[in-house]
């Protein structure tokens, strides 16, 4: 039987030392849909999505309570390999972070780390990933050039291609357009809408217009709590909680 829920968070509390960043978060991220997470700075948005692929494991003195399931598997179970979770759940960060390598090597590196050795397969994956990230036509003649020569928007799409190369199931975007110009932002948004045909996507964004444009469902975080979650159209036109309404109408944040 098909389960529409790809990721399920249940009663998640998260602490940085003595500071509680998330309080009793329970929410679902559905298969093949874009879930936007909105809210003011410091409300726990980025902390939450970094839990979804165990990136917060790399931060000292943190404590998680509750459970996060990927297709029914508790990703924080001792039996689960965090490296495998990060392969299945890829992440694109606020600022593009290409490696100081060639365009080709940026993508091939992730494949090699994940055990790929056949050069023909690696080349095939590199080309496929660049095409899926809508970057192939712009870089196909300069794959050996440094990735650092690309524009900011191209670098961000390269980072998306790098994620796609290792065949993830989920893509997490943490403010992916924060450092980009409007034209590059539009390309990333178009790409997200295209990618949701094949991937489950969660995006943290401060830009409420962006959330309205690209997402199917929206979750509003405030002070580490999930205030409200629902279909994006309903959240933006008829929110149930007065705090949600105050935020989306610009009265705070």
Q: What pLDDT is stored for residue 136 in this prediction?
A: 97
Q: What percent of the chain has pLDDT over 90?
A: 94
Checking 208-213 for CB contacts under 8 A at 24+ apart, the result is 208/38, 208/236, 208/248, 210/36, 210/177, 210/185, 211/36, 211/38, 211/236, 212/236, 213/189
CB 95 within 8 A of CB 77: no
Q: Which CATH number characterizes residue 186's domain?
A: 3.40.50.300
Task: Look at the chain and count its residues.
Answer: 253
pLDDT per position as a tens digit, 4-41: 999 999 999 999 999 999 999 999 999 999 999 999 99
100, part of any domain: no
Residue 45: domain span: 5-95+170-248
Q: What pLDDT is stored for residue 2 in this prediction?
A: 67
pLDDT per position as a tens digit, 180-223: 999 999 999 999 999 999 999 999 999 999 999 999 999 999 99
Q: What pLDDT is stored for residue 197 in this prediction?
A: 95
Supply the mean pLDDT for the chain: 95
104, part of any domain: no
For the chain, the domain total comes to: 1
User: Tokens 């998640």 identify what position?
Assistant: 12
Largest CA distance in the chain: 56
């Amino acid at each position: 039987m098909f389960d529409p829920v790809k990721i399920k968070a249940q009663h998640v509390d998260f602490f940085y030392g003595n500071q509680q960043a998330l309080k009793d978060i329970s929410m679902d991220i559905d298969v093949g849909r874009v879930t936007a997470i909105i809210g003011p700075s410091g409300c726990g948005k980025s902390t939450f999505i970094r839990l979804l692929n165990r990136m917060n494991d790399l931060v000292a003195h943190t404590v998680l309570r509750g459970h996060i399931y990927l297709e029914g598997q508790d990703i924080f179970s001792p039996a689960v390999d965090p490296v495998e979770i990060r392969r299945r759940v890829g992440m694109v960060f606020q600022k593009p972070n290409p490696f100081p390598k060639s365009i080709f090597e940026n993508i091939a590196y992730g494949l090699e780390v994940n055990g790929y050795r056949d050069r023909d397969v690696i080349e095939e994956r590199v080309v496929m990933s660049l095409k899926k990230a809508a970057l192939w036509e712009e870089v196909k003649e300069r794959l050996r050039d440094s990735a650092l020569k690309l524009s900011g928007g191209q670098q961000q799409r390269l980072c998306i291609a790098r994620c796609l190369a290792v065949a993830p199931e989920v893509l997490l975007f943490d403010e992916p357009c924060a450092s980009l110009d409007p034209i590059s932002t539009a390309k990333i948004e178009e790409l997200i809408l295209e990618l949701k045909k094949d991937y489950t996507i969660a995006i943290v964004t401060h830009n409420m217009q962006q959330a309205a444009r690209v997402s199917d469902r929206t979750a509003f975080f405030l002070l580490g709590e999930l205030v409200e979650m629902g279909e994006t159209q309903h959240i933006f036109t008829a929110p149930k909680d007065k705090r949600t309404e105050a935020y989306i109408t610009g009265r705070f944040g």
